[in-house]
Amino acid sequence: MNLYKNLNKSTQKLLVTIGVIVVLYIVMSVMESTGNLSSLMKGLLVPVCAYSLVAVGLNLCVGYLGELSLGHAGFMCVGAFSSAFFSRVFQETIPDVPRFILALVIGTAMAALFGFLIAIPVLRLRGDYLAIVTLAFGEIIKNVINVMYIGKDSKGVHFSIKDQLSLGMDIDGKMLINGPQGITGTPRQSTFTIAVLLLILALVVTHNFVNSRTGRAVKAIRDNQIAAETVGLPVTKYKLVAFTISAAIAGLGGVLYAHNINSLTATTNNFGYNMSIMILVYVVLGGIGNFSGSVIAAVVLTMLPELLRGLSTYRMLIYSIVLIVLMLFNWAPAILKWRDDHGLTTAAILGKFKKKEVQ
Amino acid sequence: MSLLEVTNLGISFGGLRAVDEFNLSIEQGELYGLIGPNGAGKTTVFNMLTGIYKPTDGMIYLDGKNVTGKKTADINKAGVARTFQNIRLFGDQSVLDNVKIGLHNSFEYGTATGIFRLPKYFATEKEMDKKALEILSVFGLDSSADILASNLPYGKQRELEIARALATNPKLLLLDEPAAGMNPNETRDLMNTIALIRKEFGVTILLIEHDMKLVSGICEKLTVLNFGRVLAQGKTSDVLNDPEVIKAYLGE
């Protein structure tokens, strides 16, 4: 207990978050093994972690770099397709475990590379340019993947942006990326355990980053760019570092997502504009600059529409009402004041917990 | 050789000539004042000296090195730090972190070291904390190290800005109206603080100020700007008795 108290506030919060995630993980695992989990919920376990990861990545960009990105689903898409492609190509040649580790590395690295390349010209500008460019990037990536045809046969790898026939493959050839049908037959290696471990890893990495020398510089640039320059901070360099890490984490989420489904396609709903906005909603609702909040919002808002499926057409209506109510509960000044008066702020609730622990 | 040598500095914004034929020479260890009516171009001179504006004409030499038109961050590394008329602190970070950001270039460890918390991270952070607290204690701010910079009282925010500038280990410190908005007591404290940092940090100071008590009390030399041009230059007592200066700025 003393050891815990010696840590600073943000580290304490990180440990609490990890603790909650571990408890949830154990509960879910027990429910799964005893057969108490519906197949619907079971199917959601890994995607929830994947969305949480992307939300954590976006929060680094929005909350700490202070730049709006409307294309994080695009980085998720890059991570998903590059890793799924890799896994398909080497499905027979590399054993499962090292191949999946490599897929994680490749998906993350590719998303980081794309983030880096986009950020070089854009982050030199001030204003909303990043939002505009990332918005376009997300759409472009999705559309490019939809016209890509890559196949492999005994003669080698064939590539076309027209259709499957123009590849001119032998009969024994197999399709790796089949245009709008995407990648099928990716090995389903993303287990709930791996997903939770990666989520915890991302939370630790982002927490350590924002509390390091580089992270302080990034926050300084967000708070006041001119002042940051006058104390000698290389502004563009640190913006690039932060954005690249943000894109990499989104890519990691993409890898998890891709290795959890049989057929990976790039549609508006999973990697398009809708998804980018969904993830931004998780970040804003969970609290800008609050990584744990992003995870909570991602979990609740992903589960909610699925749990309400029984209500058929009304579910999106209820979903939007819940969204508005939560937003008001978190941000409206009058409600914040009411929560303050009745001891319902996060700080007050956490304080009660601590007192109980001491007793 | 003087620490700062500025020759024929000028800048135009479109058709407006904001500063013209500005010359300045500051010796090592001096406390130099830049005064003049509002809109005379004093802050514009500061912005050119720190690279926020690129001068249209003229040269700036720091310690014999040409720093004209260099990037702000590089000019800071060459040894110029400043404060701002409208305080620009990193408001969402603690007082300690504000100074640690000033120490950024004096202590190195890479981004990966920070993410994976390698031993070097802990060692360097400890040293940075120690050094930052040392600087804060000069201003009596070490007791408020953990509170948010934006929660400090106004006078303390100005001092924190000076502390942050000093953390970058400058040769030349530019103070833009350090006494603005302070009451007479706070101004007196500030004068003592400036005298103290000259002694403790051995830094040369150029300051813009409207408070004549402060200017005549601590500045050794003065330059008076009016409509972007130098009106008078020299020893404080001579300049303040110059009939031109009295007419244009002080009032008869």
Contact B166, B81 (CB under 8 A): yes
Question: Rounded distance, CA A111 to CA A195, Å?
Answer: 18
Q: What is the mean pLDDT of residues B199-215?
A: 91
Strand B204-208 with A263-264, pairing? unpaired
At residue B1, does pLDDT exceed 80? no
- Give the chain A residue whose CA is nearest to the CA of B106: A232
Closest CA to B23 of B230, B238, B242: B230
Lowest mean pLDDT among A74-83, A156-165, B48-57, B112-121: A156-165
Nearest by CB to A216, from B51, B82, B93: name it.
B93
Contact B180, B85 (CB under 8 A): yes
State whether residue A234 sits within 8 Å of chain B by CB: yes
Contact A64, A218 (CB under 8 A): yes
Model confidence at A254, in pLDDT bands (50, 70, 90)? Answer: very high
DSSP A257-286: HHTT-SEE---HHHHSHHHHHHHHHHHHHH
DSSP chain B: --SEEEEEEEEEETTEEEEEEEEEEE-TT-EEEEE-STTSSHHHHHHHHTTSS--SEEEEEETTEE-TT--HHHHHHHTEEE--SS----TTSBHHHHHHHHTTTTS---HHHHHHT-HHHHHHHHHHHHHHHHHHHHTT-GGGTTSBGGGS-HHHHHHHHHHHHHHT--SEEEEESTTTT--HHHHHHHHHHHHHHHHHH--EEEEE---HHHHHHH-SEEEEEETTEEEEEEEHHHHHT-HHHIIIII--
DSSP A286-343: H-TT-HHHHHHHHHHHHHHHHHGGGGGGGHHHHHHHHHHHHHHHHH-HHHHHHHHHTT
pTM for the whole structure: 0.90
Model confidence at B244, in pLDDT bands (50, 70, 90)? Answer: confident
A2-358 CATH fold: ABC transporter involved in vitamin B12 uptake, BtuC (1.10.3470)
- Tokens coding B75: 């000019």
* Ramachandran area for residue B191 (φ above 0: left; ψ -120 to 50: alpha; else beta): alpha
pLDDT of B126: 95
Question: Nearest CA of chain B to the CA of A188: how many Å?
Answer: 30
DSSP B25-67: EE-TT-EEEEE-STTSSHHHHHHHHTTSS--SEEEEEETTEE-
Mean pLDDT estimate for chain A: 88
pLDDT of B32: 95
Contact A71, A135 (CB under 8 A): yes
Chosen from B48, B90, B106 to mutate, greatest number of chain A CBs within 10 A = B90
pLDDT of A353: 58
Contact A282, A297 (CB under 8 A): yes
ipTM value for the complex? 0.92
pLDDT of A339: 79
In order of start, what are the domains of chain B with their CATH numbers? 1-79+170-252 (3.40.50.300), 94-167 (no CATH)
Interface of B with A in 56-75 (CB under 8 A): 71-73
Cβ contacts of residue B121 below 8 Å, gap of 6+? A212, B109, B113, B114
State whether residue A226 sits within 8 Å of chain B by CB: yes
**Per-domain boundaries in chain A:** 2-358
Higher pLDDT, A319 or B57: B57
pLDDT of A359: 42
Q: Which of helix, strand or coil describes residue A157?
A: strand
CB pairs under 8 A between A and B: 93
Which strand (E) or helix (H) includes residue A358? Answer: helix A346-358
pLDDT of B43: 94
- Give the chain B residue whose CA is nearest to the CA of A63: B92
pLDDT of A351: 63
Residue A208: list chain B partners with CB under 8 A: 114-117
State whether residue B176 sits within 8 Å of chain A by CB: no
Question: Rounded distance, CA A221 to CA A66, Å?
Answer: 9
What letter does residue A167 receive in the DSSP assignment? G
Share of chain A above pLDDT 70, in %: 93
- Tokens coding A35: 């057969």
Interface of B with A in 113-142 (CB under 8 A): 113-117, 121, 124-125, 128
Closest CA to B184 of B226, B146, B212: B212
Q: What digits encode the pLDDT tens for the residues B112-128? A: 999 999 999 999 999 99
State whether residue B145 sits within 8 Å of chain A by CB: no
Question: Rounded distance, CA A192 to CA A69, Å?
Answer: 28
Closest CA to A285 of A273, A297, A276, A275: A297
Higher pLDDT, A202 or A180: A202
Q: What is the mean pLDDT of residues A110-126?
A: 91
Contact B81 A231 (CB under 8 A): yes
- Tokens coding A203: 């939370």
DSSP A203-221: HHHHHHHHTSHHHHHHHHH
At residue B33, does pLDDT exceed 60? yes
Chosen from A212, A219, A237 to mutate, greatest number of chain B CBs within 10 A = A212
Strand B172-176 with B80-82, pairing? parallel
Phi and psi at residue B174, to the nearest 5°: -105, 120
Question: Nearest CA of chain B to the CA of A216: how many Å?
Answer: 7
